[in-house]
């Protein structure tokens, strides 16, 4: 791996660096909070017990003013104006024309008659009805609007961001909000109240209003709720001593630097349309993003609750942790316990300038320790300046470790400065992400790569292969490329393979049920052949019950039959016999279908012919030796028939197969079940439409042949589950498959190949 390109920098004074850093953090917050974070960034710090940089409080005050404006001016105040509360009054007046109130004629006439009986009344008693808007509810509206306008003005005129004055656009946004508030206060009903707004006390008005509010939805109640949120113009809640701690200058700078890197990555990914979704919780920011057409996840954890790999270790780790979006996790299917978790890449950030390069020592030591604690091999230490450091990359010396440390382990030092030109900074982030993507490649699928040590090996030391201390069997070597190209375990084939989830990772994945452990296919004697068959048979019997009729169990029996067949063929290859007579006899049985060719497209392929030849050869050898277990020859006939069933019924059913089952699940059981349920079975209909009818085969003859398969299926199960296969059973299997015992009529296999087309080569 080549060294990272770092920014050649000159050291900046501490106060100047801090000013640049604060300016950039605030800018990123103002730019991304309402869009990228959808106004949820405050959740990162809202309930944190960690010390808080003061500039974040200022930022939150600014964002509170901006984000709460719409609710106040567009929703609450218009609703209050449409349904404004008032106080109705009725006043009795004694007045002369022109009159303001409604005349009380009985009272006015009675008084005039008493005073001047011969003259019409000149004074009238009237009733004046009026509405007064000078009530606590409306004074509260005016007081809130006035306080909000004052806060907007302070934010605009007092430059709250140190060395980062508001831009013209930001100033204009605040001015526009002030104008809207002034227009709201200048309306007819609020104008008179606004003159005394500076004398109103909002808390006391809220107390008075809340006493008179009726239950239900109410605009004044919403206004009180809005004010309470407006009063919380900071990121913290609560009043504990922890939430008011003051950071020292160095710690504050580090918090700002770490936050800046996280925000810069968010901005960079968002601008390149690579950001999928940021997820924010207290003290934690999770980013799902794409890079090089692959998905990754970055976690910025300010206060981790627990460690990744060591039980009981303190909840500390580097500031950023990047993994693939869907990392490989291996679990024990029975206990759900995690056995292995794909490691990520650690990124740590420490804020000090190149004027004090010796301060990097502690950060590097912690980084090396964290790599061990989380079982990772790659890490990046991000610094503002690497110009005066003696190295840009750390890696283990090859002469100091004997396998205890991965030789690929490395820590890279990378420079990121907030005062760089944005193009240069983005180039550095691009380089960083390219390296991370290279360190987190797609992993090969979990598969068995195990192989046995050969017990006949001779080495210069004369030592024997490693053996299991309990069973004394030769241990198998189990490479695990899904973990590392260098990862190899020594395992016991009988105790660990497919039984110990800690060492056998294929357990539980599709197709592993009933799988067999690694075994040496080389067989040099009949005794060795029988011994290996017995071991494999015992292993299958320990995992699968004889009455298990599932597809998985049937596929496992087929795998055992296949393994025994391979051992039988290896035995024949080792003996190198002359099998010409055997081939001539088999050719008499199959006639023109013995060998597949252009003239005989339905003939047997080479693979099936060799199965039958080795079965006949081993049959003769077993007769001579008087061996009791005849499984080695019987399985060859069973294998040959099963393979031809798959070729002529499965491989001719389309691609993908219309049978809708995997190829490894197609067994005798598939065919016999379809036959038993042929009136309703979809598989049976596929056999007819894709194999029988295209071959112009007689339906009755095909049905008869398939109806005899259950005997072979039961015999196959007996081979896999019995202690041994007797000569009688083996001869019965041979006769049913090759020729019937009643007069030498054709067996199942010759009839099948003559009846159905073979798949195209």
Q: Torsions phi, psi of 676, nearest 5?
A: -65, -25
Q: What is the mean pLDDT of residues 403-421?
A: 79
pLDDT tens per residue, range 469-528: 887 888 889 999 888 888 889 988 888 888 888 888 888 676 566 677 777 777 777 787
pLDDT number for residue 420? 79
pLDDT number for residue 3? 39
Task: Tell me how far CA of residue 482 lies from CA of 124, 443, 447, 499, in angstroms.
Answer: 104, 5, 8, 19
Report CA torsion sign: 462, 465, 466, 472: negative
* Contact present, 458 and 450 (Cβ < 8 Å): no
More confident residue, 550 or 718: 718
**Among 59-63, 299-303, 673-677, 699-703, which stretch is predicted with the lowest mean pLDDT?**
59-63
d(CA 64, CA 53): 17
Beta bridge partners of 338: 331
Q: How confident is the model at residue 77 (pLDDT cuts 50, 70, 90)?
A: confident
Report CA torsion sign: 554, 559, 564, 568: positive
- DSSP of 615-657: HHHHHHHHHHHT-S--HHHHHHHHHHHHHHHIIIIITTSTTTT
pLDDT number for residue 437? 93
Report CA torsion sign: 215, 220, 226, 231: negative
pLDDT number for residue 185? 83
Task: Provide the edge-to-edge strand list for the sheet that holds 476-479.
Answer: 451-452, 476-479, 488-491
d(CA 689, CA 346): 58
Task: Tell me how far CA of residue 712 lies from CA of 540, 616, 718, in angstroms.
Answer: 19, 18, 10
pLDDT tens per residue, range 566-589: 888 888 888 888 889 999 999 989
pLDDT at 234 exceeding the cut of 50: no
Q: How confident is the model at residue 56 (pLDDT cuts 50, 70, 90)?
A: low
Task: Tell me how far CA of residue 759 lies from CA of 21, 38, 304, 528, 739, in angstroms.
Answer: 71, 59, 60, 37, 24
pLDDT number for residue 86? 46
Place of tokens 């922890």: 242
Supply the pTM of this predicted model.
0.63
Q: Is 496 exposed, middle or buried (0-12, 13-18, 19+ CB in 10 A)?
A: buried
Helix, strand or coil, per DSSP, at residue 149: helix
Q: How confident is the model at residue 357 (pLDDT cuts 50, 70, 90)?
A: low
pLDDT number for residue 109? 73
pLDDT at 468 exceeding the cut of 90: no
Q: What is the mean pLDDT of residues 682-705?
A: 94
More confident residue, 279 or 754: 754
């Amino acid at each position: 791996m080549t060294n990272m390109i770092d920014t050649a920098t000159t050291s900046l004074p501490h106060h100047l660096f801090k000013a640049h850093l604060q300016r950039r953090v605030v800018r990123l917050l103002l730019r991304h909070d309402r869009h990228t974070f959808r106004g949820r960034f405050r959740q990162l710090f809202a309930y944190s017990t960690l010390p808080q940089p003061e500039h974040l409080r200022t930022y939150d005050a600014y964002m509170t003013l901006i984000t709460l404006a719409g609710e106040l001016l567009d929703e609450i105040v218009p609703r209050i104006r449409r349904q404004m509360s008032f106080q109705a009054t009725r006043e009795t007046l004694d007045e002369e024309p022109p009159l303001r109130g409604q005349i009380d004629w009985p009272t006015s006439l009675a008084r005039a008659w008493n005073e001047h009986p011969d003259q019409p009344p000149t004074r009238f008693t009237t009733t004046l009805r009026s509405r007064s808007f000078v009530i606590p509810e409306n004074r509260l509206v005016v007081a809130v609007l006035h306080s909000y306008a004052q806060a907007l003005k302070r934010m605009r005129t007092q430059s709250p961001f140190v060395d980062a004055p508001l831009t013209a656009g930001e100033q204009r946004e605040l001015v526009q909000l002030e104008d809207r508030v002034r227009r709201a206060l200048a309306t007819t009903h609020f104008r008179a109240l606004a003159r005394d707004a500076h004398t109103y006390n909002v808390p006391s008005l809220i107390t008075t209003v809340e006493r008179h509010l009726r239950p239900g939805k109410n605009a004044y109640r919403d206004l009180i709720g809005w004010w309470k949120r407006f009063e919380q113009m900071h990121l913290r809640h609560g009043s504990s001593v922890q939430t008011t701690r003051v950071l020292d200058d160095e710690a504050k700078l580090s918090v700002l630097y770490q936050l800046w890197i996280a925000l810069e990555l968010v901005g960079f990914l968002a601008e390149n349309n690579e950001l999928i979704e940021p997820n924010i919780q207290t003290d934690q920011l999770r980013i799902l993003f794409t890079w090089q057409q692959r998905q990754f996840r970055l976690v910025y954890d300010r206060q981790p609750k627990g460690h990744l790999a060591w039980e009981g270790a303190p909840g500390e780790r580097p500031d950023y942790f990047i993994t693939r979006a869907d990392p490989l996790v291996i679990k024990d299917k029975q206990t759900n316990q995690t056995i292995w978790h794909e490691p990520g890449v650690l990124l740590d950030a420490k804020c000090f300038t190149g004027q004090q390069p010796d301060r990097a020592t502690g950060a590097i030591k912690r980084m090396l320790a964290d790599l061990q604690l989380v079982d990772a091999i790659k890490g990046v230490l991000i610094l503002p300046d690497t110009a005066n450091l003696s190295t840009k990359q750390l890696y283990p010396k090859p002469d100091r470790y004997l396998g205890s440390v991965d030789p690929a382990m490395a820590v890279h030092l990378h420079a990121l400065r907030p005062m760089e030109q944005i193009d240069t900074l983005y180039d550095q982030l691009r380089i960083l992400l390219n390296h991370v993507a290279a360190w987190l490649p797609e992993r090969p699928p979990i598969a068995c790569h195990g192989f046995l040590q050969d017990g006949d090996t001779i080495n210069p030391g004369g030592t024997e292969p490693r053996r299991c201390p309990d069973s004394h069997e030769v241990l198998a070597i189990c490479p695990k490329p899904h973990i590392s190209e260098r990862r190899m375990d020594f395992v016991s084939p009988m105790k660990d393979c497919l039984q110990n989830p800690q060492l056998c990772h294929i357990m539980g994945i599709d197709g592993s049920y009933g799988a067999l452990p690694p075994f040496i296919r080389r067989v040099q004697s009949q005794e060795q052949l029988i011994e290996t068959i017995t071991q494999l048979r015992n292993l299958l019997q320990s995992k699968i019950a004889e009455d298990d009729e599932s597809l998985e169990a049937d596929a496992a029996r087929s795998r055992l039959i296949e393994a025994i067949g391979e051992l039988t063929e290896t035995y024949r290859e080792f003996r190198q016999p002359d099998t010409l007579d055997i081939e001539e006899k088999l050719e008499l049985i199959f006639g023109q279908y013995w060998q597949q060719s252009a003239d005989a497209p339905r003939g047997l392929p080479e693979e099936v012919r060799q199965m039958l030849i080795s079965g006949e050869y081993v049959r003769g050898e077993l007769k001579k030796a008087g061996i009791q277990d005849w499984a080695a020859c019987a399985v060859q006939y069973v294998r040959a028939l099963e393979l031809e069933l798959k070729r002529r019924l499965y491989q001719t059913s389309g691609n993908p197969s219309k049978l809708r089952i995997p190829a490894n699940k197609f067994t005798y059981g598939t065919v016999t079940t379809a036959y038993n349920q042929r009136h309703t079975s979809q598989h049976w209909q596929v056999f007819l439409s894709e194999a029988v009818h295209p071959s112009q085969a007689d339906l009755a003859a095909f049905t008869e042949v398939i109806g005899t398969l259950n005997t072979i299926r039961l015999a196959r199960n007996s081979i896999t589950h019995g202690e041994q296969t007797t000569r009688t059973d083996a001869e019965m299997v041979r006769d049913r498959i090759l020729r019937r015992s009643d007069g030498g009529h054709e067996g199942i296999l010759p009839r099948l190949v003559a009846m159905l087309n073979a798949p195209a080569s």
